A and B are shown apart, each in its own frame.
Chain A
Amino acid sequence: MNRRDSLKAIGLGTITAATLLEACKPNNNKLAEDTTEKTSGADPTRLPNEIERDKKLNAEKFFNDHEMATITILADIIIPKDARSGSASDAKVPDFIEFIVKDKPYNQTPMRGGLRWLDLQCLNRYDKTFADSTSAQQMEMVNEIAWPKKAKPEMQQGVSFFNRMRDLTATGFFTTKMGLEDLGYVGNTPNKWEGVPADVLKQYGMEGV
């Protein structure tokens, strides 16, 4: 079977981004109609215990409203809206972080404790929690913990917390549709790989390698 036929076989004969997206959702996949030998229920790619676990995690709530508000402010400070794409909260990064700490519980204490550490710093400085501080105060506080190499020794716990927040925010943002488009990722679609384009080879002097 050649490439064109094989793409037809999975319903990808004529490709647009939209039809591709639809074709690859399990429920719309024409080949997924035969249910006699299903490994599991609605989503054949997953085992029943995996589906059950996700359902359970989604039903739980870890962060309280105040913590979620603080996470949202921090995430948008880390990845704000710019000319190219929206902000972390536009990409629902706070919901991703809520899920991840339930999925990977080793994040729970550093995140909860880090948020509390931040609030205590702000209460001592500004008589307000981080979320209730003014934007100027929030930025002053963030500047104390966002630059690992120049942060004061007594700010190290805050630096660790902010590093974790930065990592989770980046992953949460750049793994969404908005984030992939911002980044310019153009793969995950049927194509023919013919090697590095000629202009790129030339740019890096790799023509002869």
Chain B
Amino acid sequence: MNDIQIKKSATTYDAVIVGSGAGGGMAGYVLAHAGLKVLMLEAGPFFDPAKDSSQLKWPWESPRRGSSTNTRNFGDFDGAFGGWDLDGEPYTTKDKTEFYWFRSRMLGGRTNHWGRISLRMGPNDFKGHHIDGLTDDWPISYDDVKPFYDKVDRMIGIYGTVENLPNEPDGIYLPPPKPRLNELFIKKGAEKAGVTVIPGRGSVLTQALPDNKDRGACFFCGQCGRSCKVYGDFSSSSCLVIPAMKTGNLKVIANAMVREVLTDQSGKATGVSYINKDDMQEYQVKAGIVILGASAGESARLLLNSKSSNHPNGLANSSGVVGKYLHDSTGSSAGGWLPQLMDRKRYNEDGVGSIHIYGPWTKDNKKLDFPRGYHIEFGGGMEMPGYGFGWGMENLNGSVPGRDGKMKEAGGFGASLKDDYRRFYGTGFGMAGRGMAIARADNYCEIDPEVVDKFGIPVLRFHYKWSDYEIKQAKHMQDTFQSIMHEMGATYGPPDGPENNYGLEAPGRIIHEVGTVRMGDDPKTSALNKWCQAHDCKNLFVVDASPFVQQGDKNATWTILALSMRTAEYIIDQRKKLNV
């Protein structure tokens, strides 16, 4: 170990891709199929859902019954190696602000466990400046991205319905799963409360995907979060990287933590350096094109850590915008239970592991005290019991009559209590708002001048504050949830109030962070051009959520996939013209 050397690879790849999530995976898929020799570096272990998923495990197969740990934030069965805290890989915050940075270190990244909620951003999400002057426009419009959304829909598969709603573009859909019983109550209540509810939109194969023999159709276990052994939902590992490897053109090196992007004297990118976590040795690889898909946080970190005489501010950062305009979705939630559903009939309603119903934003901001909007994700029903099952029964069982029609004293023990758990089972539901946060230059990440991780790589320091816009939006969510639950005839608690910003989750908690290497036409105010190509370095591209100028209320993954495909096709075109 005391003999550390830098090992330089003799091979020069056509492209090296950093990261294997939605962005890196799609770029690798397109380029490998086009015949380029591609190297993909992933900071975590290899992961193939077919072998490595916890799908269909029972709660008792976990000694903690599926509950979370510091290394598995969404529970023992969740398909994420990583979380908000990684051992030996810290990040810091500044000026007593908050940001929580979720990192999945594994092939496919966070796409192995994500909610598969697959939404297109709308015309007003790309070009929103005219609405209220609050956001910067993207250099591209919905019409520029639409053909790629279409291709992603066909290639990966998505369920949904054509609704013709404003700013909520329709796609090319497989049939959606029907609502569960609790979701019918939600739909009915929401409609009475003036909230539009439509079938969900998710990347789960509710039917076999035409012309695809590698992926199985969904068998309705509702466990997409564990990643799917038959590839019945979208993970970058199963649907992009592993198929790309089969072309023979994509090589993956797992456990490779990239340190910096290397450049030559002309300022062009020449490859990357990385530490191999297996042997703890330093490596350098050469490539004609460098593509970053490491995540909004990691890609910004890499660029800022790649300083040279040509790029003294960090690579692709003559504008100084790298790290700025970081924004995560807003999130606030509520839940309750339906007394009407006590003693309900049992049947299998696991359904799919994404949303069955969806509440798009349809309100008019002119009548509201905050800009832009949010959507609502709903769920509930007879879920597989796990850790936390039955908790707080003393708050429930005193509020309804027992089987004999008489009111019971809250709490208790014994056969009667045991029966209560059966009676209340499957009555619960939840709803979560996910909204648009306004991208601002003073929400940012930068390199902490004092702190390095265990590999000696300088770490990110975050500075992030919600503004009144986001807080008022969360208040509106809470008010809306209350009226929906009231109309449902549900039992529920009071709304979150000003004491906790109306339940507004801390920045980073929704894991939709974007915007740190934004695109634009003006090199003075953006790092990338409209093809996600660095203004300052023509053979450097960024394909994750970093290029987002302004996220809509729509979850980012489908847009990452579409933009990455668009950029990869541009790279192929530019190579033909010998421009890169």
What's the minimum C-beta distance from A46 to chain B, rounded to whole angstroms? 8
| B71 and A50 contacting across the interface, CB-CB below 8 Å | yes
Q: Which of A101-134 contact B (CB under 8 A)?
A: 103-104
Q: Which of chain B's residues have a CB closer than 8 A to the CB of A45?
A: 52-54, 57, 77
B494 within 8 A of A: no
What's the minimum C-beta distance from B216 to chain A, rounded to whole angstroms? 2
Q: Which of chain B's residues have a CB closer than 8 A to the CB of A195?
A: 178-179
Size class of the B contact interface (CB-based, 8 Å): 35 or more
A32 within 8 A of B: yes
A42 within 8 A of B: no
| A47 and B216 contacting across the interface, CB-CB below 8 Å | no
| B388 and A188 contacting across the interface, CB-CB below 8 Å | no
Q: Which of B385-410 contact A (CB under 8 A)?
A: 385-394, 398, 409-410
Complex Cα–Cα for A77 and B411 (A):
13
Given contacts A24-B56, A37-B46, A175-B387, contact A2 B347 (CB under 8 A): no
| A47 and B394 contacting across the interface, CB-CB below 8 Å | no
Complex Cα–Cα for A175 and B64 (A):
10
Quick one: which of A6, A147, A194, A199 contacts B410, CB cutoff 8 A?
A147
Complex Cα–Cα for A189 and B72 (A):
24
Complex Cα–Cα for A49 and B62 (A):
15
| A187 and B348 contacting across the interface, CB-CB below 8 Å | yes
| A177 and B389 contacting across the interface, CB-CB below 8 Å | no
Select the residue from A25, A45, A104 with max chain B CB neighbours within 10 A: A45
Quick one: which of A3, A44, A170 contacts B219, CB cutoff 8 A?
A3
B268 within 8 A of A: no
Given contacts A44-B52, A187-B350, A206-B184, contact A175 B386 (CB under 8 A): yes
Complex Cα–Cα for A193 and B213 (A):
22
B336 within 8 A of A: no
| A31 and B413 contacting across the interface, CB-CB below 8 Å | no
Q: Which of chain B's residues have a CB closer than 8 A to the CB of A197?
A: 345, 347
Quick one: which of B219, B340, B412, B421 contacts A7, CB cutoff 8 A?
B219
Instruction: Using CB atoms, name the residue of chain B closest to A182.
Output: B422
Quick one: which of B71, B390, B409 contacts A171, CB cutoff 8 A?
B390
Given contacts A1-B208, A6-B217, A200-B345, contact A58 B59 (CB under 8 A): no
Q: Which of chain A's residues have a CB closer than 8 A to the CB of B34?
A: none
Q: Which of chain B's residues have a CB closer than 8 A to the CB of A167?
A: 390-393
| B218 and A3 contacting across the interface, CB-CB below 8 Å | yes
| A183 and B421 contacting across the interface, CB-CB below 8 Å | yes
Given contacts A2-B217, A171-B389, A175-B385, contact A39 B81 (CB under 8 A): yes
Quick one: which of A44, A174, A209 contacts B385, CB cutoff 8 A?
A174
Quick one: which of A171, A184, A201 contacts B387, CB cutoff 8 A?
A171
Q: Which of chain B's residues have a CB closer than 8 A to the CB of A172?
A: 65
Q: Which of chain A's residues have a CB closer than 8 A to the CB of B65?
A: 96, 171-172, 175
| A100 and B418 contacting across the interface, CB-CB below 8 Å | no
Quick one: which of B52, B180, B382, B394 contacts A185, CB cutoff 8 A?
B382
Chain A 64-108, CB within 8 Å of chain B: the 1/0 string?
Answer: 000000000000011110100000000000001001100110000
| A187 and B222 contacting across the interface, CB-CB below 8 Å | yes
Complex Cα–Cα for A58 and B62 (A):
12
Quick one: which of B346, B387, B392 contacts A186, CB cutoff 8 A?
B346
Instruction: Using CB atoms, name the residue of chain B closest to A142.
Output: B413
What's the minimum C-beta distance from B142 to chain A, rounded to whole angstroms? 32
Complex Cα–Cα for A24 and B417 (A):
33
Instruction: Using CB atoms, name the residue of chain A closest to B229.
Output: A10
Chain A interface residue count, CB cutoff 8 Å, equals 83
B455 within 8 A of A: no
Q: Which of chain A's residues have a CB closer than 8 A to the CB of B398?
A: 149
What's the minimum C-beta distance from B329 to chain A, rounded to whole angstroms? 28
Complex Cα–Cα for A162 and B417 (A):
13
Q: Which of chain A's residues have a CB closer than 8 A to the CB of B72?
A: 50
| B69 and A50 contacting across the interface, CB-CB below 8 Å | yes
| A174 and B389 contacting across the interface, CB-CB below 8 Å | yes
Instruction: Using CB atoms, name the residue of chain B closest to A88.
Output: B418
Q: Which of B216-236 contact A (CB under 8 A)?
A: 216-223, 229-230, 232
Complex Cα–Cα for A194 and B178 (A):
7
Complex Cα–Cα for A170 and B214 (A):
42
Q: Which of chain A's residues have a CB closer than 8 A to the CB of B64?
A: 99-100, 103-104
Q: Which of chain B's residues have a CB closer than 8 A to the CB of A61?
A: none
Q: Which of chain B's residues have a CB closer than 8 A to the CB of A170?
A: 389-391, 393, 421
Q: Which of chain B's residues have a CB closer than 8 A to the CB of A7?
A: 216, 219, 230
Complex Cα–Cα for A193 and B347 (A):
10
Given contacts A54-B63, A171-B389, contact A5 B216 (CB under 8 A): yes
Q: Which of A28-47 contact B (CB under 8 A)?
A: 29, 31-32, 34, 37-40, 44-45, 47
- What residues make up the interface of A, taking CB atoms closer than 8 Å to B? 1-3, 5-7, 9-10, 12, 20-21, 24-25, 29, 31-32, 34, 37-40, 44-45, 47, 49-50, 53-54, 57-58, 77-80, 82, 96, 99-100, 103-104, 142, 146-150, 159, 162-163, 166-167, 170-172, 174-177, 179-180, 182-197, 199-201, 203-204, 206, 209
Can you report 25 residue pairs joining A to B where beta carbons are below 8 Å apart? A2-B216, A6-B232, A10-B216, A10-B229, A24-B56, A39-B46, A39-B52, A45-B77, A49-B87, A53-B69, A80-B414, A147-B410, A149-B409, A150-B409, A166-B393, A167-B390, A170-B390, A171-B387, A180-B59, A183-B422, A187-B384, A189-B221, A192-B219, A193-B348, A199-B345
List 10 A-B pairs, minimum CB-CB distance, nearest first.
A6-B216, A170-B390, A195-B178, A184-B346, A190-B219, A175-B59, A6-B230, A187-B350, A193-B220, A39-B45
